[in-house]
Structure 1
Protein backbone atom coordinates (compact mmCIF):
# COMPACT_ATOMS: atom_id res chain seq x y z
CA UNK A 1 0.00 0.00 0.00
CA UNK A 2 1.26 3.48 -0.92
CA UNK A 3 0.95 6.32 1.57
CA UNK A 4 1.43 10.04 0.97
CA UNK A 5 3.58 11.67 3.66
CA UNK A 6 6.02 14.48 4.38
CA UNK A 7 9.64 13.30 4.54
CA UNK A 8 11.41 16.64 4.92
CA UNK A 9 14.22 15.00 6.88
CA UNK A 10 14.89 12.73 3.88
CA UNK A 11 14.92 9.76 6.26
CA UNK A 12 13.19 7.43 3.77
CA UNK A 13 15.38 6.02 1.02
CA UNK A 14 14.20 6.38 -2.59
CA UNK A 15 13.56 3.32 -4.75
CA UNK A 16 15.19 5.24 -7.64
CA UNK A 17 18.42 7.12 -8.21
CA UNK A 18 17.42 10.77 -8.14
CA UNK A 19 18.97 13.82 -9.76
CA UNK A 20 21.52 15.99 -7.94
CA UNK A 21 19.25 19.06 -7.85
CA UNK A 22 16.68 17.22 -5.74
CA UNK A 23 19.06 15.94 -3.05
CA UNK A 24 18.75 17.22 0.51
CA UNK A 25 22.14 18.97 0.21
CA UNK A 26 21.03 20.88 -2.90
CA UNK A 27 17.66 21.72 -1.37
CA UNK A 28 19.36 23.21 1.69
CA UNK A 29 21.72 25.18 -0.57
CA UNK A 30 18.99 26.71 -2.73
CA UNK A 31 16.49 27.30 0.10
CA UNK A 32 18.21 30.52 1.30
CA UNK A 33 16.38 30.18 4.61
CA UNK A 34 12.97 29.49 3.07
CA UNK A 35 11.09 26.47 4.47
CA UNK A 36 10.83 23.33 2.38
CA UNK A 37 8.85 20.10 2.44
CA UNK A 38 9.71 16.84 0.70
CA UNK A 39 6.66 14.72 -0.11
CA UNK A 40 6.75 11.04 -0.96
CA UNK A 41 4.56 8.10 -1.78
CA UNK A 42 5.85 5.57 0.69
CA UNK A 43 5.71 1.84 -0.04
CA UNK A 44 5.08 0.11 3.30
CA UNK A 45 6.14 -3.30 2.00
CA UNK A 46 9.60 -2.21 0.84
CA UNK A 47 10.08 0.79 3.17
CA UNK A 48 11.15 3.00 0.28
CA UNK A 49 9.83 6.14 -1.41
CA UNK A 50 8.45 5.38 -4.87
CA UNK A 51 7.73 9.03 -5.73
CA UNK A 52 9.23 12.24 -4.34
CA UNK A 53 8.91 15.97 -4.89
CA UNK A 54 10.33 18.75 -2.75
CA UNK A 55 8.65 22.15 -2.55
CA UNK A 56 10.20 25.35 -1.25
CA UNK A 57 7.81 27.95 0.16
CA UNK A 58 8.16 31.68 -0.40
CA UNK A 59 5.54 34.45 -0.16
CA UNK A 60 2.56 32.07 -0.03
CA UNK A 61 3.77 30.25 -3.14
CA UNK A 62 5.37 26.82 -3.61
CA UNK A 63 8.35 26.23 -5.91
CA UNK A 64 10.07 23.15 -7.26
CA UNK A 65 12.82 24.28 -7.54
CA UNK A 66 13.58 27.72 -6.13
CA UNK A 67 17.01 28.34 -7.71
CA UNK A 68 18.20 25.17 -9.49
CA UNK A 69 17.77 24.33 -13.21
CA UNK A 70 14.89 21.98 -12.37
CA UNK A 71 13.10 20.18 -9.56
CA UNK A 72 9.81 18.37 -10.25
CA UNK A 73 8.48 14.93 -9.37
CA UNK A 74 10.80 11.93 -9.59
CA UNK A 75 9.67 8.31 -9.45
CA UNK A 76 10.72 4.77 -10.24
CA UNK A 77 9.92 2.72 -13.36
CA UNK A 78 7.10 0.81 -11.62
CA UNK A 79 5.10 3.98 -11.07
CA UNK A 80 1.91 4.33 -13.09
CA UNK A 81 -0.53 7.11 -13.93
CA UNK A 82 -2.79 6.25 -11.00
CA UNK A 83 0.11 6.64 -8.55
CA UNK A 84 1.10 10.03 -9.97
CA UNK A 85 -2.49 11.31 -9.99
CA UNK A 86 -2.99 10.18 -6.39
CA UNK A 87 0.23 11.93 -5.36
CA UNK A 88 -0.75 15.19 -7.09
CA UNK A 89 -4.23 15.18 -5.53
CA UNK A 90 -2.83 14.61 -2.03
CA UNK A 91 -0.19 17.25 -2.64
CA UNK A 92 -2.83 19.79 -3.63
CA UNK A 93 -4.86 18.98 -0.52
CA UNK A 94 -1.81 19.84 1.59
CA UNK A 95 -1.08 23.04 -0.37
CA UNK A 96 -4.66 24.26 0.09
CA UNK A 97 -4.62 23.38 3.80
CA UNK A 98 -1.53 25.59 4.16
CA UNK A 99 -3.30 28.50 2.40
CA UNK A 100 -0.74 28.57 -0.40
CA UNK A 101 -1.88 30.46 -3.48
CA UNK A 102 0.18 29.10 -6.35
CA UNK A 103 2.59 26.30 -7.20
CA UNK A 104 5.40 26.38 -9.80
CA UNK A 105 7.19 23.27 -11.12
CA UNK A 106 10.17 23.22 -13.49
CA UNK A 107 10.69 19.73 -14.84
CA UNK A 108 13.80 18.06 -16.22
CA UNK A 109 14.40 17.90 -19.99
CA UNK A 110 12.60 15.11 -21.81
CA UNK A 111 15.94 13.59 -22.87
CA UNK A 112 16.72 12.66 -19.25
CA UNK A 113 13.84 10.18 -19.18
CA UNK A 114 11.31 10.49 -22.00
CA UNK A 115 8.80 8.01 -20.60
CA UNK A 116 8.74 9.65 -17.16
CA UNK A 117 8.43 13.11 -18.71
CA UNK A 118 5.48 12.03 -20.87
CA UNK A 119 3.68 10.44 -17.90
CA UNK A 120 4.31 13.45 -15.68
CA UNK A 121 3.20 15.99 -18.32
CA UNK A 122 -0.03 14.06 -18.89
CA UNK A 123 -0.80 13.88 -15.16
CA UNK A 124 0.03 17.52 -14.43
CA UNK A 125 -2.22 18.71 -17.26
CA UNK A 126 -4.99 16.34 -16.13
CA UNK A 127 -4.76 17.81 -12.63
CA UNK A 128 -5.27 21.38 -13.77
CA UNK A 129 -1.70 22.57 -14.23
CA UNK A 130 -0.86 24.71 -17.25
CA UNK A 131 2.39 24.90 -19.17
CA UNK A 132 3.90 28.27 -18.31
CA UNK A 133 7.16 27.87 -20.24
CA UNK A 134 8.21 25.49 -23.00
CA UNK A 135 11.95 25.72 -23.51
CA UNK A 136 14.11 24.03 -26.11
CA UNK A 137 16.89 21.98 -24.51
CA UNK A 138 19.85 20.63 -26.49
CA UNK A 139 22.06 17.65 -25.68
CA UNK A 140 24.74 15.49 -27.23
CA UNK A 141 24.16 11.75 -27.17
CA UNK A 142 27.52 10.22 -26.29
CA UNK A 143 28.46 7.29 -28.49
CA UNK A 144 31.50 5.51 -29.89
CA UNK A 145 31.52 8.02 -32.74
CA UNK A 146 34.03 10.85 -32.71
CA UNK A 147 32.70 14.23 -31.61
CA UNK A 148 33.21 15.88 -35.01
CA UNK A 149 31.07 13.31 -36.86
CA UNK A 150 27.84 15.27 -36.25
CA UNK A 151 29.34 18.76 -36.46
CA UNK A 152 28.14 21.23 -39.05
CA UNK A 153 30.68 21.14 -41.96
CA UNK A 154 32.01 24.65 -41.25
CA UNK A 155 32.33 23.89 -37.53
CA UNK A 156 34.05 20.59 -38.39
CA UNK A 157 36.67 22.39 -40.46
CA UNK A 158 37.42 24.91 -37.68
CA UNK A 159 37.55 22.16 -35.09
CA UNK A 160 39.99 20.09 -37.16
CA UNK A 161 42.19 23.13 -37.75
CA UNK A 162 42.39 24.43 -34.17
CA UNK A 163 41.57 21.54 -31.80
CA UNK A 164 45.23 20.92 -30.94
CA UNK A 165 46.25 24.60 -30.86
CA UNK A 166 45.32 25.22 -27.21
CA UNK A 167 45.77 23.38 -23.92
CA UNK A 168 42.79 21.62 -22.37
CA UNK A 169 42.74 20.66 -18.68
CA UNK A 170 40.43 19.40 -15.96
CA UNK A 171 41.34 21.64 -13.04
CA UNK A 172 41.30 20.22 -9.51
CA UNK A 173 42.09 23.55 -7.78
CA UNK A 174 40.50 26.15 -10.08
CA UNK A 175 40.93 29.89 -9.79
CA UNK A 176 37.23 30.72 -9.48
CA UNK A 177 37.88 34.47 -9.59
CA UNK A 178 39.65 34.16 -12.97
CA UNK A 179 36.86 31.98 -14.33
CA UNK A 180 34.21 34.38 -13.05
CA UNK A 181 36.03 37.33 -14.65
CA UNK A 182 35.91 35.58 -18.04
CA UNK A 183 32.22 34.77 -17.55
CA UNK A 184 31.47 38.40 -16.64
CA UNK A 185 33.46 39.78 -19.56
CA UNK A 186 31.74 37.48 -22.04
CA UNK A 187 28.24 38.26 -20.71
CA UNK A 188 28.85 42.00 -20.75
CA UNK A 189 30.05 41.95 -24.38
CA UNK A 190 26.92 40.04 -25.40
CA UNK A 191 24.65 42.20 -23.26
CA UNK A 192 23.55 39.35 -20.99
CA UNK A 193 23.20 39.64 -17.20
CA UNK A 194 25.42 37.58 -14.90
CA UNK A 195 23.04 35.41 -12.90
CA UNK A 196 25.47 34.52 -10.11
CA UNK A 197 28.11 36.28 -7.99
CA UNK A 198 31.67 35.08 -7.60
CA UNK A 199 31.06 34.40 -3.89
CA UNK A 200 28.01 32.23 -4.58
CA UNK A 201 29.90 30.41 -7.35
CA UNK A 202 32.76 29.66 -4.95
CA UNK A 203 30.35 28.41 -2.33
CA UNK A 204 28.50 26.27 -4.86
CA UNK A 205 31.69 24.71 -6.18
CA UNK A 206 33.18 24.10 -2.73
CA UNK A 207 29.92 22.57 -1.46
CA UNK A 208 29.55 20.13 -4.35
CA UNK A 209 33.09 19.38 -5.49
CA UNK A 210 32.30 15.69 -6.00
CA UNK A 211 29.65 16.58 -8.60
CA UNK A 212 31.52 19.42 -10.33
CA UNK A 213 34.29 19.23 -12.90
CA UNK A 214 36.06 22.38 -14.08
CA UNK A 215 37.11 22.30 -17.73
CA UNK A 216 39.59 24.92 -18.96
CA UNK A 217 41.06 25.90 -22.31
CA UNK A 218 44.22 28.01 -22.33
CA UNK A 219 46.58 29.68 -24.75
CA UNK A 220 49.77 29.42 -22.71
CA UNK A 221 48.85 31.15 -19.45
CA UNK A 222 45.83 32.93 -20.93
CA UNK A 223 42.42 31.51 -20.07
CA UNK A 224 40.32 31.49 -23.25
CA UNK A 225 37.50 29.12 -22.36
CA UNK A 226 35.92 27.47 -19.33
CA UNK A 227 32.90 25.45 -18.29
CA UNK A 228 31.62 23.62 -15.25
CA UNK A 229 30.42 20.09 -15.81
CA UNK A 230 27.76 19.17 -13.26
CA UNK A 231 27.18 15.43 -12.78
CA UNK A 232 23.40 15.53 -12.47
CA UNK A 233 23.19 11.73 -12.39
CA UNK A 234 25.33 8.75 -13.36
CA UNK A 235 24.42 9.20 -17.01
CA UNK A 236 24.00 13.00 -17.35
CA UNK A 237 26.58 15.82 -17.37
CA UNK A 238 25.17 19.36 -17.40
CA UNK A 239 27.12 22.12 -19.19
CA UNK A 240 27.10 25.03 -16.74
CA UNK A 241 28.37 28.64 -16.97
CA UNK A 242 30.29 27.95 -20.16
CA UNK A 243 32.18 30.91 -21.57
CA UNK A 244 35.03 31.88 -23.88
CA UNK A 245 37.18 34.85 -24.73
CA UNK A 246 35.70 37.13 -27.37
CA UNK A 247 39.19 38.02 -28.66
CA UNK A 248 39.68 34.34 -29.62
CA UNK A 249 36.33 34.10 -31.39
CA UNK A 250 37.83 33.13 -34.78
CA UNK A 251 39.25 29.94 -33.24
CA UNK A 252 35.83 28.90 -31.85
CA UNK A 253 37.16 27.92 -28.40
CA UNK A 254 33.69 26.79 -27.27
CA UNK A 255 33.62 24.14 -29.99
CA UNK A 256 37.07 22.90 -28.96
CA UNK A 257 36.03 22.85 -25.30
CA UNK A 258 32.82 20.94 -26.04
CA UNK A 259 34.83 18.42 -28.08
CA UNK A 260 37.15 17.75 -25.14
CA UNK A 261 34.22 17.43 -22.72
CA UNK A 262 32.49 15.03 -25.12
CA UNK A 263 35.59 12.82 -24.98
CA UNK A 264 35.62 13.09 -21.18
CA UNK A 265 31.97 11.94 -21.08
CA UNK A 266 32.79 8.94 -23.23
CA UNK A 267 35.64 7.93 -20.89
CA UNK A 268 33.50 8.53 -17.77
CA UNK A 269 30.57 6.41 -18.96
CA UNK A 270 28.24 9.40 -19.35
CA UNK A 271 25.60 9.01 -22.06
CA UNK A 272 23.99 12.49 -22.13
CA UNK A 273 25.95 15.74 -22.35
CA UNK A 274 23.30 18.36 -21.60
CA UNK A 275 24.12 21.65 -23.36
CA UNK A 276 21.17 23.40 -21.72
CA UNK A 277 18.34 25.51 -23.11
CA UNK A 278 18.53 27.85 -26.07
CA UNK A 279 15.40 29.78 -25.12
CA UNK A 280 14.56 32.12 -22.27
CA UNK A 281 11.02 31.88 -20.92
CA UNK A 282 10.06 30.15 -24.19
CA UNK A 283 11.55 32.94 -26.37
CA UNK A 284 14.09 31.47 -28.80
CA UNK A 285 17.68 32.71 -28.98
CA UNK A 286 18.25 31.93 -32.66
CA UNK A 287 22.01 32.41 -32.52
CA UNK A 288 22.31 29.99 -29.60
CA UNK A 289 19.96 27.50 -31.28
CA UNK A 290 22.10 27.56 -34.42
CA UNK A 291 25.31 27.09 -32.42
CA UNK A 292 23.97 24.09 -30.49
CA UNK A 293 22.57 22.55 -33.66
CA UNK A 294 25.96 23.04 -35.33
CA UNK A 295 27.50 21.10 -32.43
CA UNK A 296 25.27 18.17 -33.31
CA UNK A 297 22.87 18.94 -30.47
CA UNK A 298 19.56 17.11 -30.37
CA UNK A 299 16.54 19.04 -29.16
CA UNK A 300 14.06 18.04 -26.47
CA UNK A 301 11.46 19.92 -24.46
CA UNK A 302 11.99 21.29 -20.99
CA UNK A 303 8.62 22.26 -19.54
CA UNK A 304 7.58 24.47 -16.64
CA UNK A 305 4.14 24.20 -15.04
CA UNK A 306 2.03 26.30 -12.71
CA UNK A 307 -1.32 26.13 -10.99
CA UNK A 308 -3.37 28.81 -9.29
CA UNK A 309 -4.77 27.24 -6.12
CA UNK A 310 -7.31 30.02 -5.50
CA UNK A 311 -9.47 29.09 -8.50
Structure 2
Protein backbone atom coordinates (compact mmCIF):
# COMPACT_ATOMS: atom_id res chain seq x y z
CA UNK A 1 0.00 0.00 0.00
CA UNK A 2 1.23 3.45 -0.90
CA UNK A 3 1.13 6.39 1.49
CA UNK A 4 2.48 9.92 1.39
CA UNK A 5 2.19 11.14 4.99
CA UNK A 6 3.14 9.93 8.45
CA UNK A 7 1.30 11.27 11.50
CA UNK A 8 2.86 10.82 14.94
CA UNK A 9 1.25 11.79 18.24
CA UNK A 10 3.78 12.28 21.01
CA UNK A 11 2.59 11.47 24.55
CA UNK A 12 2.93 14.15 27.24
CA UNK A 13 6.38 14.46 28.77
CA UNK A 14 5.24 12.80 32.01
CA UNK A 15 5.18 9.43 30.21
CA UNK A 16 8.96 9.54 29.83
CA UNK A 17 11.11 7.76 32.40
CA UNK A 18 13.71 10.45 31.73
CA UNK A 19 11.99 13.66 30.51
CA UNK A 20 13.51 14.66 27.19
CA UNK A 21 12.52 16.34 23.92
CA UNK A 22 15.18 14.57 21.81
CA UNK A 23 12.60 12.50 19.91
CA UNK A 24 10.50 15.51 18.92
CA UNK A 25 13.63 17.47 17.98
CA UNK A 26 14.82 14.58 15.77
CA UNK A 27 11.47 14.49 13.98
CA UNK A 28 11.58 18.24 13.35
CA UNK A 29 15.10 17.90 11.96
CA UNK A 30 13.93 15.43 9.30
CA UNK A 31 11.10 17.67 8.17
CA UNK A 32 8.20 16.96 10.52
CA UNK A 33 5.94 19.89 11.31
CA UNK A 34 3.26 20.48 13.97
CA UNK A 35 -0.25 19.47 12.94
CA UNK A 36 -2.03 20.17 16.21
CA UNK A 37 -1.44 20.41 19.95
CA UNK A 38 -4.08 19.09 22.33
CA UNK A 39 -4.04 19.58 26.10
CA UNK A 40 -4.18 16.67 28.52
CA UNK A 41 -5.08 17.03 32.21
CA UNK A 42 -2.57 15.32 34.49
CA UNK A 43 -2.48 14.96 38.28
CA UNK A 44 0.94 14.72 39.90
CA UNK A 45 0.62 12.05 42.59
CA UNK A 46 4.34 11.98 43.32
CA UNK A 47 3.71 14.32 46.24
CA UNK A 48 3.01 13.98 49.92
CA UNK A 49 -0.53 12.95 50.88
CA UNK A 50 -0.94 16.39 52.48
CA UNK A 51 -0.03 18.16 49.21
CA UNK A 52 -2.30 15.92 47.12
CA UNK A 53 -5.27 16.55 49.42
CA UNK A 54 -4.54 20.29 49.49
CA UNK A 55 -4.75 20.40 45.68
CA UNK A 56 -8.26 18.90 45.61
CA UNK A 57 -10.97 21.56 45.78
CA UNK A 58 -13.52 21.45 48.59
CA UNK A 59 -16.35 21.08 46.05
CA UNK A 60 -15.00 17.67 45.04
CA UNK A 61 -14.67 16.63 48.68
CA UNK A 62 -18.30 17.63 49.22
CA UNK A 63 -19.29 15.60 46.15
CA UNK A 64 -17.34 12.64 47.55
CA UNK A 65 -19.29 12.80 50.81
CA UNK A 66 -22.57 13.12 48.88
CA UNK A 67 -21.79 9.94 46.92
CA UNK A 68 -20.99 8.13 50.16
CA UNK A 69 -24.30 9.28 51.69
CA UNK A 70 -26.10 7.77 48.70
CA UNK A 71 -24.41 4.46 49.41
CA UNK A 72 -22.17 4.40 46.34
CA UNK A 73 -19.71 1.49 46.43
CA UNK A 74 -16.41 1.51 44.48
CA UNK A 75 -14.88 -1.74 43.24
CA UNK A 76 -12.85 -3.28 40.45
CA UNK A 77 -14.91 -5.24 37.95
CA UNK A 78 -14.66 -7.47 34.89
CA UNK A 79 -18.20 -6.66 33.76
CA UNK A 80 -17.15 -4.88 30.60
CA UNK A 81 -20.48 -5.64 28.92
CA UNK A 82 -22.47 -3.53 31.39
CA UNK A 83 -19.80 -0.84 31.42
CA UNK A 84 -19.79 -0.68 27.61
CA UNK A 85 -23.56 -0.20 27.44
CA UNK A 86 -23.23 2.82 29.77
CA UNK A 87 -20.27 4.12 27.75
CA UNK A 88 -22.14 3.93 24.43
CA UNK A 89 -25.16 5.80 25.82
CA UNK A 90 -22.89 8.38 27.46
CA UNK A 91 -20.90 9.12 24.30
CA UNK A 92 -23.98 9.25 22.07
CA UNK A 93 -25.74 11.64 24.45
CA UNK A 94 -22.79 13.97 25.07
CA UNK A 95 -20.78 13.87 21.86
CA UNK A 96 -22.76 11.85 19.27
CA UNK A 97 -19.77 9.54 18.75
CA UNK A 98 -18.98 5.86 19.27
CA UNK A 99 -16.20 4.40 21.45
CA UNK A 100 -12.79 3.91 19.85
CA UNK A 101 -13.05 0.15 20.43
CA UNK A 102 -15.92 -2.27 19.97
CA UNK A 103 -16.85 -4.33 23.02
CA UNK A 104 -15.16 -7.36 21.46
CA UNK A 105 -11.97 -5.38 20.81
CA UNK A 106 -11.91 -4.03 24.36
CA UNK A 107 -12.42 -7.49 25.84
CA UNK A 108 -9.62 -8.83 23.65
CA UNK A 109 -7.26 -6.10 24.86
CA UNK A 110 -8.14 -6.91 28.47
CA UNK A 111 -7.39 -10.58 27.81
CA UNK A 112 -4.03 -9.69 26.24
CA UNK A 113 -3.07 -7.18 28.95
CA UNK A 114 -4.92 -8.18 32.14
CA UNK A 115 -2.45 -6.41 34.45
CA UNK A 116 -2.38 -3.19 32.41
CA UNK A 117 -6.10 -2.60 31.77
CA UNK A 118 -8.25 -2.23 34.87
CA UNK A 119 -11.94 -1.35 35.14
CA UNK A 120 -12.94 0.59 38.25
CA UNK A 121 -16.67 0.97 38.81
CA UNK A 122 -19.23 2.70 41.02
CA UNK A 123 -22.33 0.78 42.11
CA UNK A 124 -25.59 1.95 43.61
CA UNK A 125 -27.17 -1.07 45.24
CA UNK A 126 -26.67 -3.75 42.57
CA UNK A 127 -26.48 -1.38 39.59
CA UNK A 128 -23.29 -0.18 37.92
CA UNK A 129 -23.75 3.56 37.49
CA UNK A 130 -20.24 4.70 36.50
CA UNK A 131 -16.93 3.30 35.39
CA UNK A 132 -13.42 4.18 34.32
CA UNK A 133 -11.13 1.99 32.24
CA UNK A 134 -7.56 2.73 33.30
CA UNK A 135 -4.53 1.84 31.18
CA UNK A 136 -1.30 1.31 33.11
CA UNK A 137 0.99 2.75 30.45
CA UNK A 138 4.33 2.36 32.24
CA UNK A 139 5.90 2.57 35.69
CA UNK A 140 5.22 6.32 35.76
CA UNK A 141 1.75 6.89 34.43
CA UNK A 142 -1.82 5.60 34.48
CA UNK A 143 -4.24 6.86 31.81
CA UNK A 144 -8.03 7.14 32.14
CA UNK A 145 -8.92 5.85 28.67
CA UNK A 146 -12.71 5.59 29.05
CA UNK A 147 -14.80 7.56 31.54
CA UNK A 148 -18.58 7.29 31.75
CA UNK A 149 -21.57 7.44 34.07
CA UNK A 150 -25.31 6.83 33.94
CA UNK A 151 -26.92 10.27 33.65
CA UNK A 152 -29.85 9.17 35.80
CA UNK A 153 -27.42 9.05 38.73
CA UNK A 154 -25.38 12.15 37.93
CA UNK A 155 -26.59 13.96 41.06
CA UNK A 156 -25.13 11.13 43.17
CA UNK A 157 -21.64 12.26 42.06
CA UNK A 158 -20.24 8.76 41.46
CA UNK A 159 -17.31 9.97 39.32
CA UNK A 160 -15.99 12.22 42.07
CA UNK A 161 -15.86 9.32 44.52
CA UNK A 162 -14.51 6.99 41.83
CA UNK A 163 -11.58 9.24 40.89
CA UNK A 164 -10.56 9.77 44.51
CA UNK A 165 -10.52 6.00 45.08
CA UNK A 166 -8.48 5.56 41.90
CA UNK A 167 -5.94 8.11 43.17
CA UNK A 168 -5.41 5.91 46.23
CA UNK A 169 -5.00 2.87 43.95
CA UNK A 170 -2.48 4.72 41.75
CA UNK A 171 -0.45 5.86 44.77
CA UNK A 172 -0.40 2.37 46.29
CA UNK A 173 0.80 1.01 42.94
CA UNK A 174 3.80 3.36 43.05
CA UNK A 175 2.82 5.36 39.96
CA UNK A 176 3.59 9.08 39.77
CA UNK A 177 1.01 10.57 37.41
CA UNK A 178 -2.65 10.13 36.56
CA UNK A 179 -3.63 11.29 33.07
CA UNK A 180 -7.31 12.24 32.80
CA UNK A 181 -7.00 12.54 29.03
CA UNK A 182 -7.49 15.57 26.82
CA UNK A 183 -9.97 18.37 27.39
CA UNK A 184 -9.54 19.81 23.89
CA UNK A 185 -10.72 18.64 20.47
CA UNK A 186 -8.81 20.07 17.51
CA UNK A 187 -7.33 22.59 19.94
CA UNK A 188 -10.76 23.84 21.08
CA UNK A 189 -11.01 23.59 24.89
CA UNK A 190 -13.97 22.27 26.84
CA UNK A 191 -13.67 24.65 29.78
CA UNK A 192 -16.19 22.83 31.95
CA UNK A 193 -14.31 19.56 31.54
CA UNK A 194 -10.99 21.31 32.18
CA UNK A 195 -12.34 22.87 35.37
CA UNK A 196 -13.68 19.50 36.61
CA UNK A 197 -10.23 17.96 36.20
CA UNK A 198 -8.35 20.97 37.58
CA UNK A 199 -10.42 20.73 40.75
CA UNK A 200 -8.69 17.40 41.38
CA UNK A 201 -5.35 19.20 41.14
CA UNK A 202 -4.71 18.50 37.45
CA UNK A 203 -2.46 20.63 35.25
CA UNK A 204 -2.30 20.84 31.46
CA UNK A 205 0.34 19.09 29.37
CA UNK A 206 0.74 19.16 25.61
CA UNK A 207 -0.09 16.12 23.53
CA UNK A 208 1.47 17.13 20.22
CA UNK A 209 0.80 15.65 16.81
CA UNK A 210 3.48 16.00 14.13
CA UNK A 211 3.18 15.26 10.43
CA UNK A 212 5.78 14.23 7.89
CA UNK A 213 5.09 14.53 4.16
CA UNK A 214 6.94 11.93 2.14
Whether TM exceeds 0.5 here: the answer is: yes
Match of 1:133 among 29, 36, 44: 36
Deviation (angstroms), 1:117: 4.4
Matched residues in 2 for 1:308 and 1:275: separation? Answer: 31
Question: Root-mean-square deviation (CA), in Å?
Answer: 1.9
Structure 1 residues 163 and 117 mapped into 2: Cα distance closer, same or farther (>3 Å)? farther
1:211 correspondence with 2:116 = yes
The aligned residue for residue 26 of structure 2 is 123
The aligned residue for residue 184 of structure 1 is 88
Deviation (angstroms), 1:258: 0.6
Where relative contact order (Cα < 8 A, 6+ residues apart) is larger, the structure is 2
Deviation (angstroms), 1:178: 0.5
Matched residues in 1 for 2:59 and 2:87: separation? Answer: 26
| Contact map agreement 1:139 1:299 (CA 8 A) in 2 | yes
Deviations 1:120-163 (A, max 9, x none): 23332232211111010111111332654322332232223334
Tell me, what secondary structure is at the counterpart of 1:185?
A: helix
The aligned residue for residue 13 of structure 1 is none
| Contact map agreement 1:135 1:303 (CA 8 A) in 2 | yes
Q: Flag the structure with larger Rg.
A: 1
TM-score normalised per structure 2: 0.89
Tell me, what secondary structure is at the counterpart of 2:11?
A: coil
| Contact map agreement 1:60 1:102 (CA 8 A) in 2 | no
Match of 1:238 among 143, 151, 158: 143
5 Å matches for 1:57-136?
Answer: 59-61=1-3, 101-113=4-16, 116-136=19-39
1:168 correspondence with 2:74 = yes
Which runs of no fewer than 5 residues in structure 1 stay unpaired? 1-58, 62-100
Deviation (angstroms), 1:114: 8.8
Structure 1 residues 268 and 137 mapped into 2: Cα distance closer, same or farther (>3 Å)? same
Tell me, what secondary structure is at the counterpart of 1:248?
A: helix
Deviation (angstroms), 1:115: 6.2
The aligned residue for residue 145 of structure 1 is 49
Residue correspondences, number: 210
Deviation (angstroms), 1:285: 2.0
| Contact map agreement 2:130 2:149 (CA 8 A) in 1 | yes
